[in-house]
Copies of this chain bind each other. A is one copy, B any other.
Amino acid sequence: RYGLAEDEHQVGVVTGLAYTSVGGDLLQIEALRLPGKGRMKTTGKLGDVMKESIDAASSYVRSISPQIGVKPPKFEKWDIHVHVPEGATPKDGPSAGLAMVTSIVSVLTGIPVRKDIAMTGEVTLRGNALAIGGLKEKLLAALRGGIKTVLIPKENEKDLAELPDNVKSGLEIIPVEHVSEVLKHALIREPEAIEWDEEAEEAAAAALSKSDEKTGAIAH
């Protein structure tokens, strides 16, 4: 089963694409949300660059949390664990950034990820998609693995010219510029934004606690 598209939509499970010395491969990315203290754990023999790309993905997601319906203080009550299976195989590089963002958003919102989609692309702290290497090998692996749709960075659109015809016809290849497009394609429904104004929240909380104190004093 491993190395093939998922057989159902799942929360927190995203298919990335790896490029190794022996060709392309599917990369299953799994995130879990656990009760905790805002910590991030990563496992799966990940190199420093991939760990940093998870850090960047995580900070980006925190920065847009009201847009995906998550109140920022919730982050202090959850831990997130990101694992990339086949734990004996070293993995590295920044190109799973978009997949990491998608996985974290899915796990935070509880919205499943489409099962037959894969994606590749570095992500910046603003959610922009940056170019990656090994596009051809990655797309061949996606085709072999039963993937239907692949999201790639718009900066890599120029590399599509050199692809064999069977890849171009067998896959829907969608160039993206930003995480917002990725989430539209990859999640089975869009997260609903909430209002969040930190200063208003703080003021409200302070006022409430003040009136409580006064009431309490009078009651004595």
A residues contacting B by CB (< 8 A) are 1-2, 10, 12-13, 28, 30-32, 34-35, 41, 43-45, 48-49, 52-53, 55-56, 59-60, 62-63, 72-73, 75, 81, 83, 85-88, 93-94, 97, 122, 124-126, 128, 130-131, 155, 177, 198, 213, 215-220
B-chain residues with CB within 8 Å of residue A86 when the two chains form the complex: 94, 122, 130
Give the copy number.
Answer: 6
Asked whether A45 and B45 contact (CB < 8 A) given A53-B87, A83-B125, A125-B83, the answer is no
* Interface of chain A, main secondary structure: mixed
Q: How far is the CB of A168 from chain B (nearest CB, A)?
A: 24
Instruction: Determine if B94 and A87 form an interchain contact, defined as CB atoms under 8 angstroms apart.
Output: yes
CB within 8 A of A44: which of B2, B52, B87, B216? B52
**8 Å CB contact of A126 from B13, B55, B72, B124:** B13
